[in-house]
Structure 1
Amino acid sequence: MAELATLPTRRDESWRYSDLEAVASVWPVPAAEVIEVAAGESVSRVIVQDAALDAVAIRDFRVVLNAGATAAFHVLNIGGQLGRIAIDVTCHEGAHFELGGAMLGGGDQTLEIVTTLNHIEPNATSNQVVRSVLGGRATGSYLGKVAVARDAQKTDASQSVKAMLLTRTAAANAKPELEIFADDVKCAHGATVGELDAMALFYLASRGIAPAEAKVLLLQAFVANAFAGIVDEDERGRVEAAALAALERMLDLSLSHREREGAREAQPSGKGEGG
């Protein structure tokens, strides 16, 4: 409980980009939900974080994967003034952890996915895929640490982090981190931030697809990889429908934001012409 009593600051690496004023309004947060998977067993969790836009939603998970166990988490983070999901995973021998996550935010939202993968025994694997689409003045942050202990030989861990910005005022933070003490491992990570491909939009327009619809199609394809691993088709359809609704809402807000910015830049300086 002591860790819950101390309000985080910018010095806390996993809270560096957070909205600390929003955090303070709900501190201390509930204890992490603990999920322990028995040896050889599997668990799957689908989390749709869609709190009201003026809410603060912070959820913590601690996952322990015993020998040969597997866990798959699929996370859609779209709600709240601050929406934060943190997952701390411990992988024993031969365990596997899979994460597919997406953050879709607009307005002044702050959205975060924070993961810590502790590989403590040999032959464990992990794979993380995170996609973000951000508009308005939203901030989306992924902080993912992979820690490989000295005895965790043959670890195979990967992280793929990509963000798409719909406006110049949105911000994406990506901090994949590797801490490796073993010498026989495969660990890889990659992070990119970009905008919608103008050539792809032109191609779709040349096929008669309206600009707004073309943007939605491209963004759907961009985030789809995060949810491809959801086995239950109904569950996957529910998540994809929620993501689509969020994308459409974001594009409307981003268009309004651009119009306001354009009107502000077009305003006269207020200086008269002569006396």
Structure 2
Amino acid sequence: MTDLATLPTNRDEDWRYAETAALDALTVPDLDVWHEVTVAPGVVQRKDFILDNAHPGIHRVRMTLEEGARGEIFAIASADAYTRLEVEVTLKRGAHFEFGGVTIGGGEHVREFVTRCIHAEPEATSNQVVRAVHWGKATGNFLGRIEVVRDAQKTDAAQNFRAILLEKGASANTKPELEIFADDVKCAHGAAIGALDQTAGFYMAARGIPPEIARKLQVQAFIADAFENAGEEGEGLLDRALSVLEGAQL
């Protein structure tokens, strides 16, 4: 996603919301590492990324899904430092890509997911669900690009981003992109940024649920969407994300 002849700045579209100080500190070796994955025809392969304080920084994955293959990536970005996961996926005929991600945390840090999903052949599908929960002066970003080439008919691609800001100083950014050259496709994207639902909070309070627990339950239901298709491991990912809330002003 980046030409290594020049290091990225906030003027580059894919880096426009990145943390400026972190970009200034980058070197070419920081960006010249891609984790390359090819999933064989008909095979299902999954990778979970827990980008916490033990794994901050920039992580880059380039995946090719052969005919009928299924690739799944689920991620949590919660490190107390600039953290970015880039995923570039190329889908062959009948392949499927599933992405579920949560950026969560406080402080003054930027946590972001950047995806590029290339539907290179017909009948492939992709689904991306990203949730962001931030407080303090933290920022959660999702830049998602879907590309459908001219002959990739019967493509079905979707991406959805939602953010909850627990404090006024927090922020979220999203930049969905669709580039479609085929005419028989289904492609959709949605985005929403807001605060916790006060009506739901009042409803739970009226039934004797303490306000802090009520707000945590709202956050739990909110981020659970990202791990809905993660199978049995989804509960563990949800618990891992919720553990970060201990530092939030709920």
TM bin, normalised by shorter chain, reads: over 0.9
Secondary structure, aligned partner of 1:226:
helix
Q: How does 1:97-108 map to 2 (within 5 A)?
A: 97-108=97-108
Cα displacement string for residues 86-110 of structure 1 (whole angstroms, at most 9, x for unaligned residues): 1000001111000111110211010
Letter in 2 for 1:244: L
Stretches of structure 2 lacking an aligned partner (at least 5 in a row): none
Q: Displacement of 1:10 after TM fit?
A: 2.0
Work out the number of aligned pairs and report it: 247
Query: In 1, are the aligned partners of 2:148 and 2:182 still within 8 Å (CA)?
Result: yes
Distance 1:150 1:203 in 2: 50
Structure 2: how far apart are the matches of 1:251 and 1:157? 36
- 2:149 maps to 149
Deviation string 1:32-62 (CA, Å, 9 cap, x unpaired) is 101100111110111111025xx85110000
Aligned residues: CA RMSD: 1.6
Cross-structure match for 2:249: 251
Cα-to-partner distance string for 1:150-179 (whole Å, 9 max, x where unaligned)? 011111101111111111111110111100
Range moving further from structure 2, 237-246 or 104-113: 237-246
Distance of 2:47 and 2:154 partners within structure 1: 26
Instruction: Report the 3-state secondary structure (helix = DSSP H, G, I; strand = E; otherwise coil) of the residue aligned with 1:221.
Output: helix
In 1, Cα distance between equivalents of 2:26 and 2:10: 17
| Secondary structure of 2:234 counterpart | helix
- TM value normalised by structure 1: 0.86
Higher helix share: 1
TM-score, length basis structure 2: 0.94
* Residue aligned with 2:215, SS: helix
Residue 22 of structure 2 corresponds to: 22
Partner of 1:110: 110
Structure 2 counterpart of 1:129, one-letter code: V
Larger radius of gyration: 1
Distance 1:31 1:85, change over 3 A: same
Specify the alignment match of 2:53 in structure 1.
51
What secondary structure is seen at the aligned counterpart in 1 of 2:228?
coil
Map 1:29-40 to 2 at 5 A. 29=30, 30-40=32-42
Partner of 1:132: 132
Using a 3 Å threshold, how does the CA distance of structure 1 residues 25 and 56 change in structure 2: closer, same or farther? farther
Partner Cα separation in structure 2 for residue 115 and residue 107 of structure 1 = 25
Alpha-carbon offset, residue 146 of structure 1: 0.2
Any conservation in 1 of the 2:58–2:85 contact (CA below 8 Å)? yes
Contact 1:51 1:57 in 2 (8 A): no
Q: Can you give the 5+ residue segments of structure 1 that lack an aligned partner in the other structure?
A: 253-275
Matched residue, 1:177: 177
Partner of residue 72, structure 1: 72
Q: What residue identity is the alignment partner of 2:248?
A: M
Return the alpha-carbon distance in structure 2 between the equivalents of residues 37 and 109 of structure 1.
34
